Amino acid sequence: MARRMGWWGLGVLILLGAVAARAAETPHLNSTGFTSSQVCGTCHQDIFAMWKGSKHARAFENPIFAAAYRDLQREGGDARRLCLRCHAPIAGITGDLEAQQAITREGVTCDFCHSVAGVAIRDTDSPFVVEVGGPKRGPKVGASSAAHAIQPSILHKSSRLCGGCHEFRNPEGLTTISTFSEWRASSYPAELRACQDCHFLPVNGRSTIQTGNPVGSKIPDHRLQRSQEQLRDAVKLDVPQVTREAGRAVVRVAIRNTGSGHAVPTGHPSRRLLLKVEARSAGSGSLLGEATRTYQKQLLDGGGRVLVRDADLMRARNVSDNRIAPHEVRTETFMFSIPSGEAVRVRAEVEYLYRSHILASHEWRVLVSRQETTVPGN
């Protein structure tokens, strides 16, 4: 009997020890404020690692934003209210507009997005309804956690969640960033395709460390952008017709927005697409002619002057916009003088370009697509 009690007692101690260890591993969340993403990462390790490398995580400490933010502050105006509502959205709720708290500098952090209960797109001052310290909202139904309550949220499957930041109207009343309205004006809503369907694609990983690692388990990709791969999926290039007419090569080029639910390029106006077409001798390779087309949104002041500084979007009054809308096919025609009887090689390519005036000496360039064809000699 004593031996049986001894084994029974040992079993109880082991069980209690396991329970205590599990409790020690369960992270403590701030029930009256925001919880750091570092705490979220103790359980959601794979998701945290993806978020850490994303533009959301760098939204406040990105050097280009930081420099533009300083420019705007020097010029006066309410830069903190206008900029931090999306680059450090916790600041507007906690009042930490000087970004003294480490959690403010986390940018678009886990607990902010997963505490959003509603979005008012047209409210430029405070578009988000946030329930601080409450259940964590997300798209999954039936999920549970020892660390916090979970509230299934249709909003977190909706483009409206993204539209609170990816739609911006400046103090002049001009919409300078229009990604959400570009999506809304497209056929994507009718096709039931939201931002998350492209930017949160399922990838291999564990939702939490407690779920183990079942074969084939998937989680939403919190990197949000697949950068060059995603650009190349979105934009396609074709040279459907090249003809020879009276000493000229007539080249028709089609550029298609086949995989993006918003205009290409979207976001900040410092981004552009460059279409370049050239004709060369098929024999010697000598250049016979070249031409370009640029697709971009440009911000203009009241006198029609193009504004190039990142901080200028606050005072823009007009836009010039020839970007390529969702599902749009833009056909361009080019003509080159060519030698009689000589075969000509035509090459068309599209590049995505990004340059900030802050880093004017550096331009980020991505070759999106390239096509070549030959015009035979007579």
**Domain at 228-375, CATH homologous superfamily:** Immunoglobulins (2.60.40.10)
Q: Which tens digits make up the pLDDT trace of 183-242?
A: 999 999 999 999 999 999 999 999 998 776 666 789 999 998 766 888 899 999 999 999
Residues comprising the chain, all counted: 378
Q: Which tens digits make up the pLDDT trace of 85-120?
A: 999 999 989 999 889 999 999 999 999 999 999 999
Single out the residue of 147, 65, 52, 69 nearest to residue 106, CA to CA. Answer: 52
pLDDT score of 64: 85
| Extents of the domains making up the chain | 33-158+194-220, 228-375
Rounded Cα distance between 133 and 93, Å, is 12
Phi-psi region of 173 (alpha: psi -120 to 50; beta: other; left: phi over 0): left
Name the burial class of residue 107, with classes exposed (0-12), middle (13-18) and buried (19+) by CB atoms within 10 angstroms of its CB. Answer: buried
Chain-centroid distance of CA 5 in Å reads: 62
Tell me the pLDDT of the chain (378 aa) as tens digits.
444 445 444 443 333 333 333 444 788 999 999 999 999 999 999 999 999 999 999 999 998 888 888 888 877 667 788 889 999 999 989 999 889 999 999 999 999 999 999 999 988 888 999 999 999 999 999 888 889 999 999 999 999 999 999 999 988 999 999 999 999 999 999 999 999 999 999 999 999 987 766 667 899 999 987 668 888 999 999 999 999 988 899 999 999 999 999 999 998 888 999 999 999 999 999 999 999 999 999 999 999 999 988 778 888 999 999 999 999 999 999 999 999 888 999 999 999 998 877 766 678 899 999 999 998 887
Could you give the C-alpha distances from 240 to 134, 254, 332, 372, in angstroms and in order? 56, 7, 11, 11
